[in-house]
């Protein structure tokens, strides 16, 4: 039996990750592929919490930029994260993985309300917990939600699933000479303005000493590799790794 390095993790998925190559909406095949990777680490007795964005369906900032009230636009974005959460829950349960969606905004007909102790209890019972509706407040990103929930459930690490294989000093899709970082400190991320997660989320991770690993979701099996401690992606943390 392989021994994972991390016992309790928060996996941060972008909404775009669920869209696959379509770029918008929810691609069922892509969702199933992600669910299969999550099942792999559940079989290793890793406790998994998931925060998923809603950018494949709606972006609050984009709506606000076009004149919509920012709070209203953000609440719409929270609803989009719930839709993504339910799609991922459905895919996981079809694979035989017990899953619960807990939302920061009450909607009892479709999900449980988020209660910290209940979330921890679900994790201890081996269930995947998907945190929907962000923090329940406008003006906060799902990155901040991931940092907040990781602190609340005392997760060992935040796994930031991206479309690239780590953190670069510039956009590798636009600059072929972009350099990838193997390790970064929280202060480096803040001072250099690197796009790991927003400054609020990064500061929250720094204050609570929660490491972040940025890795490429598109390579099958990478979630398991990260959990097992393989040196892939970019590690963000303090001095002690």
The secondary structure of 177-228, three-state, reads: CCCEECEEEHHHHHHHCCCCCCHHHHHHHHHHCCCEEEEECCCCCHHHHHHC
pLDDT tens column, 175-212: 889 999 999 999 999 998 887 899 999 999 999 999 99
Please say if the pLDDT value at position 80 is more than 60. yes
22 versus 4: the higher-pLDDT residue is: 4
pLDDT band at 239 (very low <50, low <70, confident <90, very high): low
Please say if the pLDDT value at position 235 is more than 90. yes
Please say if the pLDDT value at position 60 is more than 80. no
- Looking at residue 62, its pLDDT comes to 77
pLDDT tens column, 97-135: 999 999 999 999 999 999 999 999 999 999 999 999 999
- Looking at residue 193, its pLDDT comes to 86
In this structure, what token pair is assigned to residue 186? 């929280």
pLDDT tens column, 24-55: 899 999 999 999 999 999 999 999 999 999 99
pLDDT band at 227 (very low <50, low <70, confident <90, very high): very high
- Looking at residue 240, its pLDDT comes to 54
CATH topology of domain 8-237: Carbamate kinase (3.40.1160)
pLDDT tens column, 139-187: 999 999 999 999 999 999 999 999 889 999 888 888 889 999 999 999 9
Please say if the pLDDT value at position 63 is more than 60. yes
- What are the two backbone dihedrals, phi and then psi, of residue 151, each rounded to the nearest 5 degrees? -65, -40
Q: Give the distance from CA 121 to its chain's centroid.
A: 20
Report DSSP state, residue 114: P
Mean pLDDT for the chain overall: 93
39-50 burial: b if 16+ Cβ within 10 Å, else e: bbbbeeebbbbb
pLDDT band at 66 (very low <50, low <70, confident <90, very high): confident
Please say if the pLDDT value at position 238 is more than 90. no
How many percent of the chain have pLDDT more than 70?
Answer: 98
Give yes or no for a contact between 126 and 70, defined as CB atoms under 8 angstroms apart: no
Q: Tell me the domain boundaries of the chain.
A: 8-237
Gap between the Cα atoms of 179 and 171, Å rounded: 9
């Amino acid at each position: 039996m392989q021994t994972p390095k991390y016992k309790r993790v928060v996996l941060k998925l972008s909404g775009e990750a669920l869209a696959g190559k379509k770029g918008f909406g929810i691609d069922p095949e892509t969702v199933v592929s992600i669910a299969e990777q999550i099942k792999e680490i559940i079989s290793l007795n890793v406790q998994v919490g998931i925060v998923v964005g809603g950018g494949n369906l709606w972006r609050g900032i984009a709506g606000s930029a076009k004149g919509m009230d920012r709070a209203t636009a953000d609440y719409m974005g929270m609803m989009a994260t719930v839709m993504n959460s339910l799609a991922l829950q459905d895919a996981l349960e079809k694979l035989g993985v017990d899953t619960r969606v807990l939302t920061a905004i009450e909607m009892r007909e479709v999900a449980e309300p988020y209660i910290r102790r209940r979330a921890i209890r679900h994790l201890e019972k081996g269930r995947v917990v998907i945190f929907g509706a962000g923090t329940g407040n406008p003006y906060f990103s799902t990155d901040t939600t991931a940092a907040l929930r990781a602190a609340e459930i005392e997760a060992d690490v935040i796994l930031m699933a991206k479309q690239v294989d780590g953190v670069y000093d510039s956009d590798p899709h636009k600059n072929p000479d972009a350099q990838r970082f193997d390790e970064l400190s929280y202060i480096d991320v803040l001072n250099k303005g690197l796009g790991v997660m927003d400054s609020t989320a990064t500061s929250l991770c720094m204050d609570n000493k929660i490491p972040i690993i940025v890795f490429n979701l598109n390579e099958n099996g990478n979630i398991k590799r990260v959990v097992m401690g393989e040196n892939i992606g970019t590690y963000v943390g303090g001095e002690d790794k």
